[in-house]
Structure 1
Amino acid sequence: MLITGQINGTYEAKNDVMASYLSQAKDLILQFLSCKVIHIKRSENKSADALSKGASTNFEHFAKYIRVEVLDRPSVPQHKVLVIQTGVESWMTPIMAYLTSGAPLEEKAVARKIRHKALNYRMQDGILYRRYFLSPLLRCVDAEDTNYLIREVHEGIYGLHAGYRMVVAKLMNAGYYWPDMHMDATHKIRKCDSCQRHAPNTLRPKNELVPVTPA
């Protein structure tokens, strides 16, 4: 019943091994023009019921009548290797290249700018960190992680829907840094639906008052 429910989508395969078996079963089903998996009750399938009960008995006398094979490992790989995209350039790429290899750039203006920026950064275990005098090293992140960090601090589990200054301060206290933190936080917070709905109403007029003198 469990296997039938997982294939038909009624149950969910939470175990990693069962999820691997389920993925392999679905791949095999796609090779057929039509396939339907039906659960048969024990009373209607005595042979299979006897085999299932025999798994908990002693194999010595059971193997005299039925061929038994013991598997010491799953027949499907437990972990699948996913192909990820590598080599994506970001604002950290030239700084990391300079700190790692120290190779000068062809353009002198760009090389001078990179050398000046690299004084405020440090490479440690293949990770780029930003140096600060009054705080520990801050881990540098690229554009793919900035949206998640801002959203998590602003409207996450412990988010207070605070302004961009407090959000940036919390991010730096958590140990993260990227150059356009204030600008990105401002743009992201302005698009927050909850902040727009529950923001206090401004009673000030949009335009300046124009005095009208009586005639």
Structure 2
Amino acid sequence: MKVRRVQAHVDSFLVANQVKGEYESKDPKMIKYLEKVKELKGFEGAEVLHVPRSQNKKADALSKLASVAFDHLAKDVKVETLRAPSIMEVEVSCVETPGDNWMTPFMQYLGKGILPEDKKEARRLRVRALQYEMIEGGLYRKSYLGPSLKCIGPTEAEYVIREIHEGICGMHMGPRWWQREP
């Protein structure tokens, strides 16, 4: 079509000013749309102009599509339903693999019988491992007066501490010393 200059008329004052660079975009989706606009190449110039809804009957009719049936629209309004957004968001799932931590040597020794190569470290591990046991793939510290204590890694420890201080137990206040009678 050999188009060199593009002039777009929009009914959104906010969008027009964001494309011009007069307003800052903070919404992540809007930022992605603005990046798409900036990627448009092949034009000598592009301009986005704001048209108030009072001066644009087609845009006003389109803005009312959600609440008005199609029969009430003027015949010159074309309706296109978009099946997908023009910005495709890629979903990324963060998978965290547990790395080696202080429990790894104990679990290797108690689970598989693997000892460190250094004889001093191996002897030290054997002595300290007497305080631990493996139960259903987890490491537990033996307790003389109560149940075995579950050992957790750094990531789980952060979660447990956060849950104790901010979660359901967040408002633990301690004893009511101010209400005691003298």
TM bucket by the smaller chain? 0.3 to 0.5
Q: Which has the higher helix share?
A: 1
TM-score normalised per structure 1? 0.42
Q: Which has the higher strand share?
A: 2
- Larger-gyration structure (1/2): 2
TM-score normalised per structure 2? 0.47
Q: Which has the higher contact order (CA 8 A, sep 6+)?
A: 2
